[in-house]
Amino acid sequence: MRPSSKLIESETVCEYNNKETSDKTQTAALFFENFDLFFQKSTLIASTPSINLYNSHLFVFGGYPVRGVSVYLGPMLRAWQEGQFTDICDCGKTEYIYTCGGSLTSGTVGWRHSYCPDCKKHYNHKKPGSVGVYFKSADNLMSGYSNIKKMKHLVEIPLEYKYGKVIEHNLKAIYSEVLIIEPVETLTMETIVATLKETE
């Protein structure tokens, strides 16, 4: 009996995007209001992929002529704890740089925003040369991290026989199996803050 079709397997990879329901201003306000909580729960965050790989789009480094690197929540917290992306605040305590941008060609600094949990203030100290330094550090920091999902498709090719030859028609997908590299969930900053507070 001749087969009526054959099956082939194909795979595509696409970036996983968080569906953040709140606007960026609200996301930032929630994060910095709970800054100490995030630091206290950094171990829990690192061991929870859905939070560790959360992309708040708050921690972006880079500038013209390339796109900035958006650092995930877990790696950003760990970098700060290791002394990266930090500086000395005017009050003498540590300030944490959370975004920096400008021109990577001229070195012009458009912004370099930091936050001091002791002062409870945000600063914009435009240090010369910081755009390239932080962009490189952020790129290295994100190397090896994947917030992507693989789509594995099982595809059926209908076969038709004419004059003793097989004619393959258009591909028809039977089903698709989603394989997520990390168990990433769609979260919001509100959900993350509530989850961390529940563990106190």
- In contact, 58 and 138? CB cutoff 8 Å: no
Provide CB contacts within 8 A for 7, sequence distance 6+.
154, 155, 156, 157, 174
- Residue-wise pLDDT tens for the chain (200 aa)? 666 555 555 544 444 444 444 577 888 999 999 999 999 999 999 998 878 888 888 999 988 777 788 899 999 999 999 999 999 999 999 999 999 998 887 778 889 999 999 999 999 988 887 888 888 898 888 876 655 444 455 555 555 656 666 554 554 444 444 444 444 446 788 989 999 999 87
What is the per-residue pLDDT for 113?
Answer: 94
What is the per-residue pLDDT for 17?
Answer: 44
Provide CB contacts within 8 A for 187, sequence distance 6+.
18, 50, 51, 54
Nearest to 32 by CA among 88, 127, 96: 96
What is the per-residue pLDDT for 51?
Answer: 87
> What phi and psi values does residue 168 have, to the nearest 5 degrees?
-95, 130
Q: Is 0.75 surpassed by the pTM of this model?
A: no
